[in-house]
Amino acid sequence: MSKLLSTVSRELNIDLKDVFAWSDSTIALGWINTSPHRLKTYVANRVVSIVDRIPANHLRHVSSPDNPADLGSRGTTAGVLVKSQLWWSGPQPPDYWPVQKLQIQTTSIPDMKSTALTIETHQPNEDITSRFSSFSRLIRVISWMYRFINNARSKLPDRVFSSQLSVQELQASETVLFKLHQQHFMSKQLASLKTKMAVSVSIPLHSLHPILDCHGILRVGGRLPQSGLSYNQCHPVILHKKAHLSKLIVHHLHTDYFHAGPTLLMGLLAQCYYMIGARRLVRNISRNCVVCQKTYARTSSEIMGELPSARIMPAPVHPFLATSTCY
């Protein structure tokens, strides 16, 4: 239709500003009133071609009762056609044109480009230890991060530029990890200790008589402060067995002590940490260790062949029944 109007107006020297095009297709009008970049390629090219010839505000909607073209395209009887004022006289003058109240929803128009939305979810309780497979690397990464933060907050003379991490920095990183771990898995126990100075009977770990050290870490209580043992041995850090940090610590001890077995590994773990049900975790890590599987693999044994009949069947005669001598 746009090509026909453009050709006719060019041949008859008619300005297209005074020409209005009518269509009963709401989908086509929806395409024309939509930005081409939101349409698929084929439809967008057709829309641009139409709008270049006819302005979009000169394209209007006509309902089927007011459209004289429907009588010829859809067919009608001769009696109706003879009496049709719309067919013989055409549409009404512009002063009587219907008011455009057509509202087209973009979501109901076909051949629209799909819009991809990227949604980023923020998990405030995300476990940073799940990104690591080595406890030593985790500690060093946390230490470097805290050194950068401290250097950014300090003046130039107080900044640390050493290429090596100090023992104090590594210990501070362990303290931070233990605090994050316990805040995630043992928030009720920590809140109970901070408010009541003792763990409620209804809360797990009550039998351990847990205490809070100077750094706010939950540790096992006990009666060994006068034993001469170190503070970590007297009051081990309480860890949750299902946490990824616990798996990293057990795996670190397993490899650091030359792939220690479950019994030795339990003894090493008890020197600094306390995990309820740690034996199953220790066994799983020892059993799934590839080096241990190769070292302690069972040797295959072949099935021996069948015995000959001479060795299992009784002799036909008694022994020494027939003898001979040599002179």
Task: Determine the pLDDT at residue 19.
Answer: 74
Residue 41 lies in a domain: yes
Mention every residue, 6+ apart, whose C-beta is less than 8 A from residue 266. Answer: 278, 279, 282
Backbone angles phi, psi at 2, to 5 degrees: -65, -40
pLDDT in tens, 18-70: 677 777 777 777 777 777 777 788 888 888 888 777 777 777 777 776 777 77
Q: Which of 152, 178, 204 is the last residue of a domain?
A: 178
pLDDT at 120: 66
Higher pLDDT, 50 or 132: 132
Residue 58 lies in a domain: yes
**pLDDT: which is higher, 45 or 103:** 45
**Mean pLDDT, residues 131-154 taken together:** 94
Residue 47: give the domain boundaries.
2-108
Provide mean pLDDT across the span 241-253.
94
Q: Are 150 and 84 contained in the same domain?
A: no
The pLDDT, as a whole number, for residue 253 is 95
Q: Measured over all CA atoms, what is the biggest interatomic distance in the chain, rounded to whole angstroms? A: 153
CB 47 within 8 A of CB 36: yes
**177 pLDDT band (50/70/90 cuts)?**
very high
**Is residue 186, in this structure, part of any structural domain at all?**
no
Does residue 119 lie in a domain region?
no
168: nearest Cα among 143, 145, 188, 148: 143
**What does residue 8 show for φ and ψ, rounded to 5 degrees?**
-65, -45
User: Are 209 and 221 within 8 A, CB to CB?
Assistant: yes
State the total domains in the chain.
2
Whether the model clears a pTM of 0.85, i.e. scores above it, the answer is no
Q: Are residues 131 and 98 in the same domain?
A: no
Claim to verify: residue 68 and residue 23 sit in the same structural domain: yes
Banded pLDDT at 180 (limits 50, 70, 90): very high
In a domain, 52, yes or no: yes
Of 108, 138, 161, the domain-final residue: 108
Identify whether residues 149 and 60 lie together within a single domain. no
Q: How confident is the model at residue 126 (pLDDT cuts 50, 70, 90)?
A: low
Q: Would you say 58 and 20 are in contact if contact means Cβ atoms under 8 Å apart?
A: yes
| pLDDT tier, 99 (very low <50, low <70, confident <90, very high otherwise) | low
Is 135's pLDDT higher than 80?
Answer: yes
Q: Give yes or no: residues 151 and 74 share one domain.
A: no
The pLDDT of residue 3: 78
CA quadruple 271, 277, 279, 280: dihedral sign: negative
Q: Give the tens place of pLDDT for each residue, 216-243.
A: 999 998 888 888 899 999 999 999 988 9
Average pLDDT rounded to a whole number, residues 157-166:
92
Q: For residue 292, what pLDDT is reported?
A: 92
Query: Is residue 326 predicted with pLDDT exceeding 90?
Result: no
Clarify whether residues 95 and 29 are in a common domain. Answer: yes
Looking at the fold, whether 20 and 95 belong to one and the same domain comes out as: yes
Q: Judge if 87 and 25 occupy the same domain.
A: yes
What rounded mean pLDDT belongs to the chain? 82
79: left (phi over 0), alpha (psi -120 to 50) or beta: alpha
Same domain for 96 and 33: yes
Within a 10 A sphere around the Cβ of 289, how many other Cβ atoms? 16
101 and 51 part of one domain: yes
Quote the pLDDT of residue 134: 95
Q: Taking residues 170-178, report their average pLDDT.
A: 95
Tokens of 43: 């439809």
Note whether 75 and 104 are same-domain residues.
Answer: yes
Closest CA to 251 of 275, 284, 294, 296: 284
Q: Is residue 63 part of a domain?
A: yes
Parallel, antiparallel, or unpaired: how do β-strands 211-212 and 218-219 relate? antiparallel
Does some domain include residue 224?
Answer: no
Radius of gyration (C-alpha) of the chain in whole angstroms: 44
Domain boundary (108, 138, 158) is at 108
List the single range of 20-24, 45-49, 270-274, 290-294 with lowest mean pLDDT.
Answer: 20-24
State residue 104's pLDDT score. Answer: 63
Rounded CA separation 147/24 (Å): 71
**Confidence class for position 16, pLDDT limits 50, 70, 90:** low
Considering the domain architecture, whether residues 75 and 164 belong to the same structural domain is answered as no
Say if 249 falls within a structural domain: no
**Dihedrals phi, psi of 212, to nearest 5 degrees:** -110, 130
Where residue 287 falls among pLDDT bands split at 50, 70, 90? very high
Q: For residue 123, is pLDDT > 60?
A: no
Per-residue pLDDT band at 268 (split at 50, 70, 90): very high
Is the model's pLDDT at 186 over the cut of 80? yes
Task: Give the pLDDT of residue 281.
Answer: 94
Q: Tell me which residue has tokens 């920095």.
A: 169
